[in-house]
Amino acid sequence: MEEIILKTEGLKAFYVLDVYGKQKTVKAVNDVDLAIRENEIYGIAGESGCGKTTLLKTLAAAMEPPLRIVDGRVCYHIAGADVDVSTLSQEEIRRLRLEYIAYVPQGSMSVLNPVARIKDTYRDFIESHISTQQRDEAFLLAKEHIVELGLPPKILDAYPHQLSGGMRQRVTIALATLLKPRIIIGDEPTTALDVVVQRGVVQLLKDVQRKLQNTIILVTHDMGVHANIADRIGIMYAGKIVEEGSTDKIFGDPEHPYTQYLINSLPKFGDKTPRESVPGSPPSLANLPPGCPFHPRCPHVKEICKQEMPGFTQVESNHKVACWLVGEGEHGKAA
Amino acid sequence: MEKLLEVEDLTKTFTLGSVLSRVKITAVDDISFYIKPAEIFALAGESGCGKTTTARIIMGFDHASAGTIIHGGKKEAKNEKVWFTEGIQAIFQDPFGTFNPLREVERYFFETIQNYKLAKSKQEAIARIDAKLRLVGLTYEDLAGKYPSEFSGGQLQRISIARALLTDPKLIIADEPVSMVDASLRMSIVNLFKKLRDELGVSVLYITHDLATAYYVCDRIAIMFRGDIVEMGTVEQVLMTPKHPYTQLLRASIPEADTSRRWQGEIKLSDTETDEYLRQGCRFAGRCPLVMDVCRTTTPPDVIVEGAHVSCHLYADYANS
Ligand SMILES: Nc1ncnc2c1ncn2[C@@H]1O[C@H](COP(=O)(O)OP(=O)(O)OP(=O)(O)O)[C@@H](O)[C@H]1O
Ligand SMILES: Nc1ncnc2c1ncn2[C@@H]1O[C@H](COP(=O)(O)OP(=O)(O)OP(=O)(O)O)[C@@H](O)[C@H]1O
Ligand code: SF4
Ligand SMILES: [Mg+2]
Ligand SMILES: [Mg+2]
């Protein structure tokens, strides 16, 4: 088995808010154990608002108040040793962003400075990350990289607002993969791209991954993209990973009722029969139902579901599910 | 045939670059289409092909360089935007950009209610807001007193749809309304469009990259490439038997949610966006696998092939038939 490059243990990351003097806790990442392997593409899918972006922020050590880790830990595996991210200084984290982890956040506009030309954004990025001698080289590399992504070097002279949504997204991706990181974390990196350009970007991400033998953690709502490139997929619901398996398993034989709804809601060409979405509405992460958080919407709900959260059942070596329907009587936490 | 909205020969040019290296881009190049009452019409195609520009002009946010827009039998007049866009509401691509992070989300709703005089009391306003929010699976309580940062992208997108519904519009212009939400919610949003069409007779201009949902919910579709409509017809015609080589490439690039049908081979992206815009003849000629000499010099004719509009030299024979 490949080495683990990034893991979380019992990770809880909450938004702790003060609303009119009353404390409110949004449990966006609620007891997540992940073990991401070297050289894999790990996909994360799940309901809008279930905590995917929050999870990625904690993985990338890019948290800001009111978000904070209340329990558990995030570990990077660097040079043969596990490093608990919470023990690192701000400066060390800044350096890690250069050599270890690249984070492409959701919503590309937020990264590009609206009042600076693209080349100035690049220059700022390069200057803050690269030693003086290598800067010219880095700028050339940046240009090359841009061309590889199918973008004209001319866009370096443009302001973000002059570019279409698709173009901005690609510029952001170019910027983030410039420094050959070990882990690329992408939050909806191909959202808002047409399918041809999306395919080109995914192709590029895959090429980069093959060349650098690195790891990609990819959040996207486009299940077609997951089916195309992910090796494994984690399905997230209400702050928890509820199912994890090989891409084939998740698409071909999903076992968690939420995953089943998700897969069944995908429309297919040549088939216009009405498709349903998950019934009911998503739970409030500030006020979670007891037991399995999916129980108020689940068609198979049993008495125990309302009382206790099921642990993981390892249904196969590469497939685990947290649901009382699956693997009865063996709900210890699977590793 | 009754038409709710007609776009005729619409053109929009932008100027890019500095004083010395100025390039003029025709972002939208002489396009025409119409939308019928109670119809969902998709506008799809390449990123940066002019879809948002078209939508912005229809909404009256931007001026056309040439061409006309007829809405509800009335032609657009420059100084009478208000009545012209009455009955049209918009939903935009980036839910993060729709709301000011420093304003409570509900204020947008009250503002719309005030602008359109939709309620006499606060009570009535809240009831109306709550009713619209329920259509998208939320309630007034979910949103009262909250700021945009307290919602996820998907939640914000549903909130902006609910806000658009406040005025009971006849036409909703939805610019990539589902790109930020999960598959199940996508289904609930397009099912919502279907319901608005079938039960309230609302039309939707559905701008999207998600062709599977477009196939599922739309009546007709136009495929744009670099400012042109290259193919237009029913979703059945255009997506099941695409004629234009660009539509064929588009169709083949849709990632299928099926691990046994992963993308095969590599694709070539355009050299540069502006170069394709400036290209003579067919703008797809640089990447078209079936390119002929004529494609590089002459603008392709618009012809009808098996009921669909196609703009491609391959079908030149249809021009006279
Ligand atoms: N700054 C914040 N303060 C308070 N709550 C927040 C904040 N940011 C996010 N949340 C809440 O945390 C939850 C998880 O949000 P997150 O953005 O992680 O979801 P997501 O899974 O990425 O959603 P999407 O698919 O829509 O992008 C949501 O309920 C959201 O409302
Ligand atoms: N204000 C502007 N100034 C200069 N060029 C612009 C402006 N707005 C748009 N453009 C250009 O016009 C073209 C069409 O842009 P538009 O945003 O309409 O595309 P789109 O089809 O909506 O793309 P996407 O799918 O990425 O949303 C692009 O090349 C874009 O760079
Ligand atoms: S644990 Fe129970 S409620 Fe939760 S998904 Fe499984 S069957 Fe449904
Ligand atoms: Mg997110
Ligand atoms: Mg657009």
Is the distance from CB of A57 to CB of A63 less than 8 angstroms?
yes
- Cα A115 to Cα A14: distance, rounded to the nearest angstrom: 33
Q: Model confidence over A178-193: pLDDT tens digits?
A: 878 899 999 988 877 8
Q: Which two tokens stand for residue B52?
A: 């948002």
**Looking at chain A, which runs of residues are DSSP E strands?**
4-19, 22-37, 41-46, 67-78, 81-84, 101-104, 183-187, 215-219, 232-237, 240-246, 313-316, 319-321
- The interface pTM score, or ipTM, of the predicted complex is 0.83
Q: What is the pLDDT of residue B278?
A: 61
- Cα A15 to Cα A29: distance, rounded to the nearest angstrom: 9
Best of B184, B253, B272 to substitute, by most chain A Cβ atoms within 10 angstroms, is: B184
* Choice between B86 and B227, residue whose per-residue pLDDT is larger: B227
Q: For residue A295, what are the contacts with CB-CB under 8 A and spacing of at least 6?
A: A289, A301, A305, A306
For chain A, residues with pLDDT lower than 70 are 1, 107-111, 149-150, 164-166, 328-335
Q: What is the Å distance from ligand 3's center to A292 Cα?
A: 6
Residue B194 burial by Cβ neighbours in a 10 Å radius (0-12, 13-18, 19+)? middle
- Cα A325 to Cα A315: distance, rounded to the nearest angstrom: 12
Q: What is the pLDDT of residue B80?
A: 59
Residues of B (221-240) whose Cβ lies below 8 Å from A: 239-240
Residue A32, CB half-sphere, CA atoms under 13 Å: how many? 37
- Cα A230 to Cα A222: distance, rounded to the nearest angstrom: 12
Q: What is the pLDDT of residue B32?
A: 96
User: What band does B51 get if pLDDT is binned at 50, 70 and 90?
Assistant: very high
Chain B contact for A283 (CB, 8 A cutoff): no
- Cα B190 to Cα B172: distance, rounded to the nearest angstrom: 12
Q: What is the Å distance from ligand 5's center to B148 Cα?
A: 22
Q: What is the Å distance from ligand 4's center to A189 Cα?
A: 11
Give phi and psi for B234, each to the nearest 5.
Answer: -70, 160
Q: What is the pLDDT of residue A46?
A: 95
Q: Which two tokens stand for residue A311?
A: 């642990």
Residue found under tokens 């993981």: A312
Q: Which atom of ligand 1 is nearest to the CA of A46?
A: 21
State which of A260, A261, A300 you would mutate to test the pocket of ligand 3, scoring each by most atoms of that ligand within 8 A of its C-beta. Answer: A300
Ligand nearest the Cα atom of residue A44: 1
Which secondary structure element, helix H or strand E, spans residue A228, and what is its range?
helix A223-229
Give phi and psi for A195, each to the nearest 5.
Answer: -65, -25
- pLDDT for B274 beyond 90: no
Q: What is the pLDDT of residue B72?
A: 77
Residue B136, Ramachandran bin (φ over 0: left; ψ between -120 and 50: alpha; else beta) = alpha
Kindly list the structural domains of chain B, giving each domain's residue range(s) and its CATH number in brackets, ordered by start. Answer: 5-254 (3.40.50.300)
- Cα A208 to Cα A190: distance, rounded to the nearest angstrom: 16
End-to-end CA distance of chain A: 14
Beta carbons of B184 and A53 less than 8 Å apart? no
Residue found under tokens 């199940």: B184
Helix (H, G, I), strand (E, B) or coil at B231: strand
Q: What is the pLDDT of residue B253?
A: 92
Angstrom distances, CA of residue A153 to CA of A149, B21, B27, B245, B278: 10, 14, 20, 27, 16
Mean pLDDT, residues B241-247 taken together: 96
